[in-house]
Chain A
Amino acid sequence: MTRQAGRRAWRTPSPLPGFSLSLGFTVAYLSLFVLIPLTALAIRPWENGFDNVIAAVASPRAQAALRLSFIAAAVAAAVNAIMGGLLAWVLTRYDFPGKRLADAVIDLPFALPTAVAGIALTALYAQNGPIGGLLAPLGVKIAYTPVGVVVAMIFVGLPFVVRSIQPVLQDLDQEVEAAAETLGASPFQRATRVILPAVLPALLSGVGLAFARGVGEYGSVIFIAGNMPLRSEIAPLLIVTQLEQFDYAGAATIGMAMLILSFLILLGFNGLQGLIARRGA
């Protein structure tokens, strides 16, 4: 009797079979492939002492790498918010030839291996490439600069933003827009006062996903970045470099710093989203 009461305390009874089996398997699998490995990441940095952790994060090279990864990801996410928003709008509201193809192609950055995207973007935006060559006479250099890092992060983040907004735009009641129009709202007013508030929560969640993806991005960035320490070296590359020098604790420290920073930023972002959702309701 007491045993049953004890069980009820942590789970609602259900007649369906397989609870212990499925939960046991899920927890074991997650422990093996997620929990134990990430615990190692959380513990390893401290084995050389607290001061070494601070020193590893505060070194100019680590600071520059972390700053580049986070700022480039933020810029790329902002560009994606605007251009991804435009793409989502055009794909849900307008009809034009090739629309289905354009819609399918949005997901290419998901499906294309990052290394493939990396060498393709480099070939395209290098100074002897088709697009880089057009920009070179104007004095604009993209490949092998921090701008190249941003371009690669825009590429990988695009689908997150478009796919987050699209369903909301599709479900948005067009009568509300029509009503605003009848009441004399200009297209700009309709966009900022009617449509934007409705899609803002979805837009923010898509931008958050694109940002998180950009911060951790490696494959598509390292080819186009140039990888100059202090200038165009991203944080994940610094981890790889330190691993190659068998500095496990140093690599784990940068990795942990990246995770904590992303976590805090996304937490703030979620707070903002919640605030907006509550105000809209």
Chain B
Amino acid sequence: MTAETLRLSAARPRNLSLGRGLLIGLALLWLTLIVLAPLSVILVEALRKGLGAAVASLSQPDVWAAARLTLLTTAIATPLNAVFGLAAAWCVTRFDFIGKTLLMALIDLPLSVSPVISGLVWVLLFGASGWFAPWLNAAGLQIMFTPVAIVLATILVTLPYVARELIPLMQQQGSDEELAALTLGARPSAIFLFITLPNVRWALLYGVLLANARAMGEFGAVSVVSGHIRGLTNTLPLHVEILYNEYDFVGAFATAALLAVLALLTLVLKSFLEHRHADDLAARGRR
């Protein structure tokens, strides 16, 4: 080894670590400005007039009604989309048929549609001059501006999440185990319950977690179809907007803080799943 290379290798680490430190600093500064600062400002604004005021604004009946509607919507939309995700993943990954690519594109479609459009389409169908309006009027039914419309909009927005986690995993796992069970005489229900479901359980949970977070937080689509009737068709995210527009900033940010806590909880569960069950989530890192 010449003196030249010795000098080089001695000098390099220090040089690199300066550049490295700069890059890390810049990246963390950006993360702080764009993500961490907004998160902390929610807490600061919510507590601006003290903890008491924040808690008082959260115990309003309107907040509770909004929270109930948000939970109800999520409790309907997420399980339906989970069943859909399982069915879609089963037919797409276990069979070959013409039109499969189109079907998969349709499953992903809601992801690239503006949330406002996901609400708009229901107004076009069920609104005052919607396609089904004459029929609905004759039957004395109202869908627009009721919780039903909110559920429909939420289902459309969160439809792809479970399917998108299951499809790559089931593709990767293949159908060998299911075929073996079939050869040994297992009934279809047994194959599903004792082989498929256990194999995908963590990915299913992961997808449900993402769909759930999106369903609880959905704003644009729900805003279009809700009619913003307090106590009746107001979800938590919509309530944040109402309070904010009424200049009740403590109330708006306290409600926002409640939703932010739910989001953080989602992140904790999500990174737990990613670290503990990485092998069972083929879709990790793919978005």
A residues adjacent to B (C-beta < 8 A): 9-12, 14-19, 21-23, 25-27, 29-30, 33-38, 40-41, 44, 83, 86-87, 89-91, 94, 96, 98, 100, 102-117, 119-121, 123-124, 129-131, 151, 154-155, 158-160, 163-164, 166-167, 170, 187, 206, 209, 212, 215-219, 223, 235-237, 239-240, 243, 246, 248, 251-252, 255, 258-259, 262, 266
Q: Does B47 contact A (CB under 8 A)?
A: no
Query: Is there an interface contact between A113 and B259, defined as CB atoms closer than 8 Å?
Result: yes
Q: Is residue B147 within 8 Å, beta carbon to beta carbon, of the partner chain?
A: no
A118 to B36 CA separation, bound complex (whole angstroms): 14
A selection of 30 A-B contacts at a CB cut-off of 8 Å is A11-B96, A11-B97, A12-B96, A12-B97, A21-B87, A22-B87, A37-B118, A41-B124, A83-B27, A86-B30, A96-B24, A102-B31, A108-B39, A111-B264, A112-B263, A113-B237, A113-B263, A160-B287, A163-B286, A216-B113, A217-B114, A218-B114, A218-B115, A219-B223, A236-B114, A236-B220, A243-B120, A248-B129, A251-B123, A255-B121
Q: B95 to A14, Cβ gap below 8 A?
A: yes
In the complex, which residue of chain B has the Cβ closest to the Cβ of A15?
B182
Size range of the interface on B?
35 or more
Cβ distance A13 to chain B, nearest Cβ, rounded Å = 9
**A111, B213: Cβ atoms closer than 8 Å:** yes
In the complex, are the beta carbons of A117 and B38 less than 8 A apart?
Answer: yes
Which chain A residues lie closer than 8 Å to B27 at the CB level?
A: 83, 86-87, 89-91
* Residues 141-162 of B at the A interface (beta carbon under 8 Å): 152, 155-156, 159
* Smallest CB separation, B83 vs chain A (Å): 8
Are A37 and B252 within 8 A (Cβ)? no
B59 at the A/B interface (Cβ < 8 Å)? Answer: no
Taking CB atoms, residues of chain B closer than 8 Å to A258 are: 114, 117
Structural contact, A262 and B218, CB atoms closer than 8 A: no
State the Cβ distance, B93 to closest chain A Cβ, in Å. Answer: 10
Contacts of A251 in B (CB 8 A): 120, 123
